[in-house]
Amino acid sequence: STSSAWPPAGVEIRTLYLDASNGANTLAGDGVLTAEAPAEAGSDAFAYDPMDPVMSYGGNVCCTGGAIDAGSFDQAAIEESREDILVYTTEPFEDGLNVSGTIGVTLYVSSDARDTDFTVKLLDVHPDGRAYNLDETIQRVRYREGYDRQVFMEPGEVYELVVSPMSTSNWFAPGHRLRIEVSSSNFPRFTRNLNTGGNNYDETEGVVANNRVHHSVEYPSQIRLPVLAR
């Protein structure tokens, strides 16, 4: 199909909420995307070590001198092996789903570091388990209130983090699922946050940030999808 506008006419926003009962870490976790905010308060935690970041595999990149192979690749092996990747997936779509437009993400987060990053990756999961990346984004927490100021975190406090939006136009065919990965690094696609609260560019040593994503009625971590009716 074609459209003369972006997003296409007739798009409706569908909100899906992050949830997990026993933990969303890795592909072996039970992280899900659901139509209603979870009634039970929960959270998913991981340790982000900037000296051992999640390495970029594909993506919407250009001109990296061979540092990253641009494009869409099966991410399942990375999802299986990295405890610092949270994985949230829908049920299979019975009739398929056309997602076309700007995708919003809001996370409710906490950390024991003064500053850290949160990354999000959008994927199309095939019935056989292959998971292909569509777009990716990142948000530095110190700039959650705007890029004209730096506001650092306090341990134990939960903060609303509106992540920089993603865009796609993708047909999730019947039997396919939509997935997001949440982590704190996607390197070298994005520069590492060393978690110190310093400048990063003039530092060589980082600290481990113990990061947490919250999901409940009070803290409705969510993804907002522009869905185009068939």
Taking residues 188-197, report their average pLDDT: 95
Residue 67, φ and ψ in degrees, nearest 5: -65, -30
More confident position, 145 or 59 = 145
- Neighbouring residues of 52: CB distance < 8 A, sequence distance ≥ 6: none
Q: What's the rounded Cα separation, in Å, for the pair 124 and 140?
A: 25
Q: How far apart are CA 112 and CA 44, in angstroms?
A: 14
What mean pLDDT comes out for the span 7-28? 95
Q: Which residues pair with 55 in a beta bridge?
A: 187
Beta carbons of 204 and 7 less than 8 angstroms apart = no
Report the pLDDT averaged over residues 17-28.
97
Q: How large is the average pLDDT for residues 215-228? A: 97
d(CA 33, CA 87): 10
Q: Is the CB of residue 88 less than 8 Å from the CB of residue 33? A: yes
Whether residue 189 contacts residue 68, with contact meaning beta carbons closer than 8 Å, is answered with yes
Confidence of residue 212 (pLDDT cuts 50, 70, 90): very high
- What pLDDT was estimated at residue 86? 98
